[in-house]
Structure 1
Amino acid sequence: MNNIISWNARSIINKETEINYLIYKENPDIIAICETWLKDKDKFMIPNYDIIRKDRANQIGGGLAFCIKNSIQYKDIKLNDSQEQKLEVQAIKVPFNNKWLNVILMYNPCKNITKEEIEHYSNQIDEPKLIMGDLKAHHPLWELNLNPKLSNKTGKTLFDFLASNVEILPTPPGQTTRFDPVTGKTSTIDLIIGSQTLSHFEIISGQHLNSDHLPIIIKIDDNQSPLKNKEKEWHYTKEGWTKYQKELFKLKIEDTKALPIIARQIITQTIKEYNQRTDKRSLVYRMMETCKELKILIKTNSISSIAQIPPWYVFTKIHKLILCIIFLKTRRKNNKKSILHDREHNV
């Protein structure tokens, strides 16, 4: 696959020209559309694409659709509805790296969504997974200029979901996905959530196409190995490390719960910008300094302390060996202190 597009079209009945242009410009393998506004009687066809629809029943607006190239194999996933049934949800699976990529399309019709409802749908599909759509979630984690007091309940819900699950948010912080047609203010509410192995996906906003939402283009490189299959040791130049520190301070972190997510997000966004040549001395220094900057405690009284590190960092055998060395040095130091204490006590 080359790319997937997620777009809140706000009615596709009158947007045949826009969709044809989008296909011509981006050649997407899949177009996931929110707010189709289609009814059972409406016909919707795209040449060379199969359409899977989920129209909203008995109400105007809403509706979802997957448009899949007819050259791509796919399976429709039947999801069990949640008790809340606030979200409109649709799911498919497509081949990706010799396995199935599970894709969920979500639309939030301006309601307060709970973490349990998101988890209800997310837990029904296997890894790797991609969750996308218009969630109408406002939070400073992905809207950098947003006053924290203006975070809505769905934004806090999504933040809690990311904090308590292994999924990441590949959407770049501050990326514009919607323009308010009245005030002209921008926001980031069309989000992409995915498995950590999909962190190499590039997320960009497309051109304005007669909707207040921009199409979100997910660029996929099938030839690039996922993170778990190609572990990387990261190396920062002096200049790069200074830039990295400045980015941290820009965030003005107040809630320590956000640290693992922010660290994971920053690493995902910036790791490609730096030289990744192996430098073991730099690796140790950078790892310890990063944890210090993010106020993340590495416990040295137990080898199992590796689990204390946030999930954005993938440990290789070298890294585990480094932590073991740190542990052994700390234990020896503590043993020496204990011997000296015993000698002083005996005297």
Structure 2
Amino acid sequence: MILILQWNARSLVANGLEFKSVINELESKPDLICIQESWLKPRFDFVLKGYVSERRDREEGNGGGCITLIKEGIQYRTLGKGVIKEYVIVEVWVNGINYVIINYYNPCKKLLLNELEQIEGQNEDRVIWCGDFNAQSTLWGGLVTDCNGLVVEDLIDRRNLVCLNDGNNTRVNVATGKESVLDLTMVSDAIAGSAEWEIMRQDTIGSDHYPIMISIRVNARRNGVSKGSICNWKYDKASWEEFTRLSEEGLNNIIVESDRSVEMISEEIVQAILIAANKYIPKGRGGRKNKIVPWWNEECKNAIRKKSKAFRRVRKT
């Protein structure tokens, strides 16, 4: 099981201490925490015990920013951070399976489909979007559908995503008490059936957004190869020097102490090697996957996209 907590903090400077106390009280700590509107500046530290962080601070102006916190011991690498746009992307390995987590914040600006599609890491099979898109759509429980909502709907179609939101409101206007759905969680269709989504608590922790907990069941895979597939490593085209450097870097970060189990240390060793292998040893097309039906092809996928688009139009009109 991988647990992800998603939350628009509307300032960790103001609400960070209360948030830390909430995390400390949790019996099951999240593996990753995706926070939008961190309001942090490069000169500010934010440390959560037991986690490492990757940040994209807004250096000019107030507000904004994203921070992704990864539980210590989980192997990960950073795939990208926004320059103009505000996002942080990390790839993590859990039980030998990789997941790409995109932590995204849109500060009420117009979304463009081509810009969203250019964000790194979306070519993987297990992608998870956690963010405040400031996009309204009846598809995820909004009262209306705006321009940003249409863009996100198109992204869902183009990238074979599933929106996990269950229709519950995620933000409350503290001045009027009116609620809306602005925080979205979208996942690749390959893992949608293993995912659960819920508002973690009816308390905004000082923000105007509710925290959200996402849980995804993880099936272990052996030797970095998922069940039903055959991995064909191209050893003759590997960048062995880079592989050695990255694997040694990962191995040197493993903590070997008497209070840690052999199994835990062994898993971290395997993950360190797999991270380097996935990055610097190419894979051939011989990695076959068993299809549910042999005749399923791109034409079938396009038909499903058109059907989904038509269904949404029916709902709206």
TM-score bucket of the superposed structures, by smaller chain: 0.5 to 0.7
Give the structure with higher Rg (CA).
1
Q: Please, what TM-score do these two structures have when normalized by structure 2?
A: 0.66
Cα distance, 1:312–1:196 mapped onto 2, change above 3 Å: farther
Deviation at 1:303, TM superposition (A): 10
Deviation at 1:41, TM superposition (A): 1.5
Q: Is this contact kept in 1: 2:133–2:182, CA < 8 A? A: yes
Aligned-partner SS, 1:310: helix
Larger fraction in strand:
2
Aligned position for 1:211? 207
Aligned position for 1:20? 21
Aligned position for 1:94? 92
Identity of aligned residues (%): 29
CA distance in 1, matches of 2:115, 2:78: 20
CA distance in 1, matches of 2:31, 2:121: 25
Count of aligned residue pairs for this structure pair? 231
| 1:105-184 alignment runs, 5 A limit | 105-121=103-119, 124-143=122-141, 146=143, 150-172=144-166, 174-184=167-177
Aligned position for 1:220? 216
Q: Please, what TM-score do these two structures have when normalized by structure 1?
A: 0.60
Deviation >4 Å, runs of 4+: 122-125, 302-309
Cα distance, 1:43–1:308 mapped onto 2, change above 3 Å: closer
| Aligned pair partner of 1:192 in 185, 189, 196 | 185
Deviation at 1:72, TM superposition (A): 1.2
Aligned position for 2:240? none
Cα distance, 1:223–1:11 mapped onto 2, change above 3 Å: same
Q: Is this contact kept in 2: 1:4–1:218, CA < 8 A? A: yes
Q: Is this contact kept in 1: 2:7–2:36, CA < 8 A? A: yes
Aligned position for 1:29? 31
Determine if the alignment matches structure 1 residue 3 to structure 2 residue 21.
no
RMSD value over aligned CA atoms? 2.8
CA distance in 2, matches of 1:141, 1:17: 33
* Amino acid across the alignment from 2:20: I
CA distance in 1, matches of 2:55, 2:32: 13
Aligned position for 2:267? none
Question: Relative CO higher for 1 or 2, CA cutoff 8 Å, sep ≥ 6?
Answer: 2
CA distance in 2, matches of 1:116, 1:2: 30
Aligned position for 1:56? 58
Aligned-partner SS, 2:139: coil
Aligned-partner SS, 1:214: coil
Deviation at 1:27, TM superposition (A): 1.1
Residue ranges of structure 1 left out of the alignment (5+ in a row): 231-301, 314-347
